[in-house]
Structure 1
């Protein structure tokens, strides 16, 4: 193989590939990631074939290389997970800080301002739905419109409010929970 014999490489690949995949999967518990890892090991094995010094056996070399790559992958996943957790923690802290700047009446005032920007019929339907807890059918009967119009008006209101309150949504979600 050191001289570039593709047949030799194919022999090692065919002989060890499936066993190495199972071995890797025992560590990383993801068969597609295991297969990808083993393929990478074989690619590097071929690319570095001229410089590799195998002291014991090809089998030992390949299994040891797969083991090391599994450890590297697991360390990398652990770092990614820690980073993700830090980002989540930072976001939660930021929301808590923002929440402490507002009290319930201030949030209600922000919500009222956003609702006041809704078109008249849209606002009327939204308030009947959300503040008087009427069902769409009841709103339709009360206002003399179809249930479909009620649904459309509520959808329109929510879309406008999401846009108007985008900077305050995390605070409202915290307030509502």
Structure 2
């Protein structure tokens, strides 16, 4: 269960954080303002809890959970990378022309018209190939979700 912070404490933390930012000589080193502000608040809260005579262990340990939700956690980054690799391996199983069209459309952001001109085919044919490719990837993904021990190549994991 998360500990609630009193609204007046939140106001004090925010005011202190604004004061610390206002005292900076320069803000050129700040890449992401809201993340910088949030980490100042989190650090101020940690100091405040540590200064209290009796600070519940849970309150101090939960400070890490007060994070900027705009940044993915390392676990989320790894999961995203693994999902991307899974999609790439499923994409590699498509026929060459279909694979290339899906890559151009979905990964490189080309329009159907650009792909059609580049590959010498109609826009309708490009649309069909994208549909077929995405459907095959979705079906492959679903198959892997149902049978996680199957490798993307269709072989069973040892």
**TM-score bucket (shorter structure):** 0.3 to 0.5
**Which structure: greater helix fraction?**
1
Structure with bigger gyration radius: 1
TM value normalised by structure 2: 0.41
